[in-house]
């Protein structure tokens, strides 16, 4: 059974239809928790629940936090490892995420940069799978 196509092709970033939106990066460390889950994993779950596609979770060896503290991983303890989740999303998607984070009272540092995004190539955007 074929999947229905999204009615707004610009919002999906079909080939030739550049979309204006944001690159949103959320920064945390491995030992932060929300509802008993690692915060980065909880954030990915919320992004999927909100049907915001295209998130990347990265773990770093070390970094300097907004608190000016040096965060690093050690062989014996990985709890302080810096993590970031990067999402490319429309303004409406970012607002839905911010609303949900406010509702959940999640405190997380972020960077939000305007971007243009879309798909290149003859076939255009790949088909999305249902969650």
Model confidence pLDDT, tens digit, residues 40-83: 999 999 999 999 988 998 887 666 666 766 666 665 555 578 88
Model confidence pLDDT, tens digit, residues 88-118: 999 999 999 999 999 999 999 999 999 999 9
Q: How many CB atoms lie within 10 A of CB 21?
A: 22
Percent helix, strand and coil across the chain, each to the nearest 5: 20, 35, 45
List the beta bridge partners of residue 23.
88, 113
Domain ranges across the chain: 35-83+94-116
């Amino acid at each position: 059974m074929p999947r229905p196509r999204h009615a707004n092709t610009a919002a999906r970033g079909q080939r030739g239809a550049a979309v204006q939106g944001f690159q949103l990066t959320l920064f945390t460390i491995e030992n932060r928790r929300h509802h008993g889950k690692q915060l980065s994993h909880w954030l990915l779950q919320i992004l999927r629940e909100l049907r915001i596609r295209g998130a990347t979770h990265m773990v770093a060896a070390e970094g300097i936090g907004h608190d000016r503290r040096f965060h690093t991983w050690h062989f014996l303890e990985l709890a302080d490892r810096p993590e970031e989740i990067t999402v490319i999303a429309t303004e409406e998607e970012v607002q839905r995420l911010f609303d949900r984070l406010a509702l959940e009272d999640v405190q997380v540092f972020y960077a939000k940069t305007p971007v243009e995004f879309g798909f290149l190539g003859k076939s255009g955007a790949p088909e999305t799978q249902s969650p």
